[in-house]
Amino acid sequence: MAESVSATVVAVSEELSVVSVYHGGEKRTLQPLPLLLSRANQALSTLERYRGRLDSVLASLDTLELAGVVTFRDVLFVLQRTELVRRIREEIEDYLAELGNDGRLLALQVAEITLDFDRLYESVLADFLDLDAEREVEGIQEYVASLPTEMLTELMGFGRGIAERSLCPPLKQEDLYDRELLGVHLRSRGRRLLSQVPRLPRYVAGQISKQLPTLAEIKQAGAEELAEISGVGPDWAKAVKDYFKSLE
């Protein structure tokens, strides 16, 4: 009966101590609060571990990126870890929706753990796969999100799928063997690292990226050359040079 009604229906069974919600032809049984909190906290612990592993592979990527020796395999490792973080965050968001006000503290913890997560995900895709338009980035993200876990963790198949959807010329060579594909060297645009310069406005970073489209060019540019870029000036030019010098 409830499933045939167009409105949202809440059914409470006092005898079974069960609350069910019917909406749009679907039924969802609400879990007891103690069980829900326990599962949410377990998921939060998993999220913390996954974020720690993501930060670890990102630190490795920083080192390789600055040395100019990033391979497609390195980028895939980051994308795998990124998607795992996204999936567990999504699971926790479902718990939060059910918890309501009881999930406020949990929501704050999730927000802290995933701070800047979406920006990092987008910048890695833009930096190494030559994606500019928002729809191009979203297309890759939707593809990755659609993969079952076993396909996400199978590096070669995962890599083939990403390469087919990227706009990066080195990855579009159809005659690459599997092993060669993973070893393809990718240049970085440097946008992710540039965004980490303390207090650097996004507009200024964007102006630098327009004039100096690769990380190698950004690193090689002198302070005077950077300062001459519209919107940058000597102060931000010095901040950029000082930041990259600190990474050496």
- Report helix, strand or coil for 174: coil
Q: Do residues 57 and 121 lie in contact, with contact meaning Cβ atoms separated by under 8 Å?
A: no
- Class in CATH terms, 31-182: mainly alpha
Task: Give the global pTM.
Answer: 0.85
| CATH architecture assigned to 191-246 | Orthogonal Bundle (1.10)
Would you write out the chain's pLDDT as a tens digit for each of its 248 residues? 445 556 777 666 555 455 666 666 676 666 778 888 999 999 999 999 999 999 999 999 999 999 999 999 999 999 999 999 999 999 999 999 889 899 999 999 999 999 999 999 999 999 999 888 789 999 999 999 999 999 999 999 999 999 989 988 888 876 666 678 899 999 999 999 999 999 999 999 999 999 999 999 999 999 999 999 999 999 999 999 999 999 88
* CA atoms of 96 and 36, how far apart (whole Å): 9
- To 5 degrees, how large is the angle CA 150–CA 151–CA 154? 90
Task: Please tell me the total number of residues recorded for the chain in this structure.
Answer: 248
Q: What is the pLDDT of residue 67?
A: 94
**Encoding tokens for residue 56?**
């670890």
For the chain, the structural domain boundaries read: 1-30, 31-182, 191-246
* CA atoms of 2 and 24, how far apart (whole Å): 10
Q: What is the pLDDT of residue 131?
A: 87
Q: What is the pLDDT of residue 180?
A: 84
Q: What is the pLDDT of residue 98?
A: 86
Q: What is the pLDDT of residue 2?
A: 45
